[in-house]
Structure formats: C-alpha cells, structure tokens
Amino acid sequence: MSDSKQKSTFQFNKLQKRLRHTVGDAIADYNMIENGDKIMVCLSGGKDSYTLLDILMGLQKTAPVEFELIAVNLDQKQPGFPEHVLPAYLESLGVPYHIIEKDTYSVVKRVIPEGNTTCGLCSRLRRGTLYGYAEANGISKIALGHHRDDILETFFLNIFYGGKLKAMPPKLLSDDKKNIVIRPLAYTREKEIERFAAFKDFPIIPCNLCGSQANLQRQAMKVMLASWDKQFPGRLETIFTSLQNVAPSQLADRQLFDFAGLMRSEQAEGLDDSLNAGLDVLAL
C-alpha cells in the first residue's frame, strides 16, 4: 500500500471514529435509542442522511441495546429524480427500506408563487407523510439527519426573522404526541459530514425543488456562521454549548420565569411571619 493510500485510510478511520463518538454521545445524553426500538432513518439522498444511516448501522453492531433500522425515502416526484439510485444503494447494504411515493412536488409548485421559498411547505408535507408512515408501521423513533450547523442556523433564523429563542432540539415529541423525532448528528459538524461523504462516495441526489433557491435566509445564516468560524475559532462550539445552558431568570420570558412574583428576602420573611401568625390564630 502506498504512503498516500495509508494516510488516506488513517484519516478516514480517524474521522469515522470521531463521528461515531459524537453520535454516540448525543444518543446517550438525550436517551435517543432504547432497547427494542424500531428506528426509521429518513433518507433523502443527501450527504447528511447517508452519513446518519452509515453511522447508525455501525453502532447497531456494537451498541449495548438492540434496535432495528429501516431506511425510508419519500419520492416527492421531482422532475428528473433518479428513482433507481436509492433502492440499488440500500439493497447493496442489505438494510430494510421502503420508498414512499407521493407527489408533494406538484402541490408545492402549485401553492407557492414562483421565486418564493418552498422549504416551509415542502417540509410540512414531507413531515406529515413520514409521521403517517411511522404510525402505521410501528416505528418508535424517527431519525433525521440534521447536524449541529443546522441547529445553529435554525437558532439564528428564529432570532433574526421569527423573534424567538428556538432551535432544533436533539429529541422532540411531535405536537400530536404520537411520534418521537431524534437527531443523532446533533453534535456533529457539517464539514466533517462532508469529508465523510467524500470518503464513502455516497450516491448523492441533489434536491431540484429547493436546491436552486440561492437567496434563502438559511443560506445567509450559513455564510454568517462560516465567517465566524473562520475569524473566531471555537465560537460556534460556545454558541452550541449555550443552547444546553439556558438560564430562564436571565432572559425575559414571563411564561418561563415568574418575574412578577419576585420578592426581596425581607419581603419573603415578612410574608412567612404573617402566615405563621395566621396559623397561630387558627390554632387557638
């Protein structure tokens, strides 16, 4: 084996080990996978979901708990979508899979005016379809390929455009309480996923529905975060850590913290004295 080949193999093994470590940490920290789980890995044909499936298949062999995996793809009937790619790839892996065929593409193109962002409606339609499949097929967890950069981008999108301190949680109970969504790549950086996908040479399928929208707000967040990461190494790690260290009393949400009920210690002591006096009277 040549020196370059050895170096490449070493780099891949090191990267794969790091990815399995970060995914394992996220799974453990949020109790994402439990014994007997049937996990639906939502496979889009992009680098993130391919990486997620690959890492989970590796962990499945060594994890202290037993769980099933089924790869599920939603064929949204986008023009030119190569229908043969995913089945051929998944059959080569020997992993159970299912392709859901539903023409959400036509719905999105009919409803959303030309030039407007399609992601919102597209994701809602996709989510509803996948939730329905999960309920009908005994799926206990739905695994999505969102990574740490996705979470940070969503956080700033909600701040800048939504007026909310909100991101993508590593683990989520759906609004109808019927599905649990997990994001095992929550601790994993996108640039490491890109390197892993390049090493593995996954058969990437581009999204023709939204991938051509160059001026998306999310793209602006991606550029901003990349600039910070280059100029201030470690900043993104610190920001993500802040999402895990929330202090409600230091913010301004009256639903999360009782600001109106705050009292000085002297007031609290006076209230206690009044209550004690009242109890003494009642005891007489």
**Model pLDDT, residue 209:** 52
> Tokens standing for 279?
């109890």
Domain range enclosing 153: 3-246
In a domain, 178, yes or no: yes
Total count of domains within the chain? 2
**Cα dihedral across residues 213, 217, 218, 219: positive or negative:** positive
Same domain, 284 and 232: no
In a domain, 159, yes or no: yes
In a domain, 133, yes or no: yes
Same domain, 143 and 277: no
Phi, psi (degrees; rounded to nearest 5) at 281: -65, -40
Same domain, 240 and 280: no
HSE-CB for 224 with a 13 A CA cutoff: 14
Same domain, 269 and 215: no
The pLDDT > 70 percentage for the chain reads 85
Instruction: With a cut of 70, say whether residue 3 has pLDDT above it.
Output: no
In a domain, 252, yes or no: no
In a domain, 251, yes or no: no
Give the residue, 222 or 282, on which the prediction is more confident.
Answer: 222
In a domain, 117, yes or no: yes
**Model pLDDT, residue 211:** 46
Q: How far apart (Å, rounded) are the C-alpha atoms in residues 24 and 176?
A: 28
Same domain, 217 and 265: no
Same domain, 270 and 177: no
In a domain, 241, yes or no: yes
In a domain, 189, yes or no: yes
CA 145 to chain centre: 6
Q: 152 pairs with which residues across the strands? A: none
Same domain, 105 and 222: yes
Residues 6+ apart with CB under 8 A from 192: 15, 18, 19
Cβ atoms within 10 A of the Cβ of 50, count?
Answer: 25
**Cα dihedral across residues 55, 56, 60, 63: positive or negative:** positive
**Is there a contact between 130 and 40 (Cβ–Cβ < 8 Å)?**
yes
Same domain, 210 and 271: no
Instruction: With a cut of 50, say whether residue 10 has pLDDT above it.
Output: yes
**Model pLDDT, residue 279:** 53
**Model pLDDT, residue 212:** 47
| Mean pLDDT value across residues 51-66 | 96
Q: How far apart (Å, rounded) are the C-alpha atoms in residues 146 and 48?
A: 7
Query: What CA–CA distances, in Å, run from 197 to 78, 113, 225, 226?
Result: 23, 34, 21, 19
> Tokens standing for 258?
């009782």
With the CA atoms of 62, 63, 68 and 69 taken in that order, what torsion angle do they form, in degrees rounded to the nearest 10? Answer: -70
Cβ atoms within 10 A of the Cβ of 75, count?
Answer: 16
Q: What is the pLDDT of residues 92-151, one digit of tens each?
A: 999 999 999 887 777 777 777 666 666 666 777 788 889 999 999 999 999 999 999 999
Same domain, 208 and 73: yes
**Is there a contact between 76 and 126 (Cβ–Cβ < 8 Å)?**
yes
Q: How far apart (Å, rounded) are the C-alpha atoms in residues 16 and 31?
A: 22
CA-closest candidate to residue 187, choices 12, 14, 27: 27
Confidence of residue 78 (pLDDT cuts 50, 70, 90): confident
Same domain, 43 and 102: yes
Is 0.75 topped by the overall pTM?
yes
Same domain, 205 and 263: no
Q: How far apart (Å, rounded) are the C-alpha atoms in residues 192 and 51?
A: 10
**Domain CATH code at residue 78:** 3.40.50.620
Same domain, 226 and 171: yes
Q: What is the pLDDT of residues 170-199, one digit of tens each?
A: 999 998 899 999 999 999 999 999 999 999
